[in-house]
Amino acid sequence: MLKKVGVVVLSAGFLFTIAWLPGWVGSGQPSEPGNDNENQKVKNIIYMIPDGFNADYATNYRLYKEEDVVWDEHMKGMYTTHSADSSITDSAAAGTAMATGYKTNNGVIGLDPEERELETILEASQESGMAAGLVATSTITHATPASFASHVKDRNNETAIAPQLLENEVDVLLGGGKNNFLPGSEGGNQESNHLIDQASDQNYAFVETRDALQDAEIDIEAGEKLLGLFADDALAPEMHRDETKEPSLADMTESAIGSLEEGEDGFFLMVEGSQIDWAGHANDAAWAMQDIAAFEAAVEEAIAFAEEDRETLVVVGGDHETGGMTVGMGENPEMNVDPSVLKNVTATGDHMASALNSDRSNINEVIGTYTDFELSESEIQTIRNADDAASAFNQVISDRASIGWTSTNHTGVNIPVYAYGPQAADFTGHLDNTDLPKIMAEVLGVELGG
């Protein structure tokens, strides 16, 4: 593996001295025990994927939060994301690349372009005796989590993905998508068997609420597993989660770590903040910021564990960017951006649109209920005359924060990677998304096959 060293060139003699000072690593910063230590063993990996997130999201979120973000000091490099058949990837091809180290075509999960099965970093970890877990705020059968433990030609075939997650005996599965585990007679998909019963036969404890998750205790060494399906479809956006009995992403991350850490041979855990991407598709800036906040809380759980454990590597990186989010928009003569105005937005654009009456005469009432804005007459007319009221709400709210958008789909820009823990410096420099699982396999000492 190529090690990249980033330093500021002052003088040859100074650099020579720096290079040989004990405790210094390729980032040019003194390492703390368990952070960037090239000689430290990696026992566990927590792979955290903020779907749709890139540097512009990171910048707007920092301005939204009005203080530093947990991953800021752990920035290591950037990576490219193209798929095998397109310069702009979808989540299936990106997830496959990030799980297997191989490119594939958009829409394909766990298979190469010739439909040959690819081994994932989760599967390779399991083969070495490690425990494994998947956590997501989407359905647990959605493209990104599916890419780590299933192999299908079509990402939309979630009822074919669900049994594979159980067949691969992933120890902890937490997210939405209960309908994909139920037969059609019980509200699920007609193609699905009663996989929850099957999971019970495989020694999975099954939970459906935040409280049940908090009370769940499993013994990994005794072969016990945990299946948490907290919604029929995807979980609620973070800003609507309190209206449900669903756990937060941080709750699920904490529970997953607590269960998996009991394994004697270490664990591999993938955690996805799924709905940052969905907010990007909708150009919904408030939804994006609040789901990033939920994702940051989950990263804080992971890093807190890694700080104490000192054998855990935490890697954070999105699968692609969504929406072409920009920091600033239009002419912006004041040269100012203020995402903090989004803190008092309490509903998605879709939710606000659903609250409109038939003639849209209650726009001010809806805005007053879910924001602290007072709309101008031109803003009211924008929403009243729009073909898509949800998009119009999102446009007006993004304009207030000076957050711009160039697309309602994915873009092909590079993505930042952050890493904390032993061997974190291995992620330094300009990479491709296929490099991430290869580095993980190397630091774990496992073989990642094709």
Q: Enumerate the active-site residues.
A: 91
Distance (Å, rounded) from C-alpha 95 to C-alpha 165? 15
Q: How far apart are CA 42 and CA 39, in angstroms?
A: 9
Q: How far is 329 from 278, CA to CA, in rounded Å?
A: 21
Residue given tokens 């997130």 in the structure block: 53
Pairing of strands 326-327, 403-404: antiparallel
* Rg, Å, the chain Cα set: 22
Closest by alpha carbon to 171, among 196, 135, 143, 195?
A: 135
Indicate the length of the chain as a whole number.
450
**Do 151 and 133 touch, CB atoms closer than 8 A?**
no
**53 residue type, one letter:** F
Residue 66 DSSP code:
T
Position of tokens 């807190």? 304
DSSP track, 147-186: TTT--BS-TT-HHHHHHHHHHTT-SEEEEE-GGGGSBGGG
Cβ atoms of 382 and 389 within 8 Å: the answer is: no
Alpha carbon distance 349, 281 (integer Å)? 12
Element of type H or E holding 207: strand 204-207
Under DSSP, the state recorded for 110 is S
Find the DSSP H helices in 4-111. Answer: 12-19, 55-65, 91-100
Q: What are phi and psi of 432, to 5 degrees?
A: -115, 155
Given a contact cutoff of 8 angstroms between Cβ atoms, the answer to whether 394 and 282 are in contact is: yes
DSSP β-ladder status, 75-80 and 410-411: unpaired
- Compute φ and ψ for 442, nearest 5 degrees: -65, -45
- Amino acid sitting at position 18: I
Show Cβ contacts of residue 435 under 8 Å, excluding neighbours closer than 6 positions: 79, 101
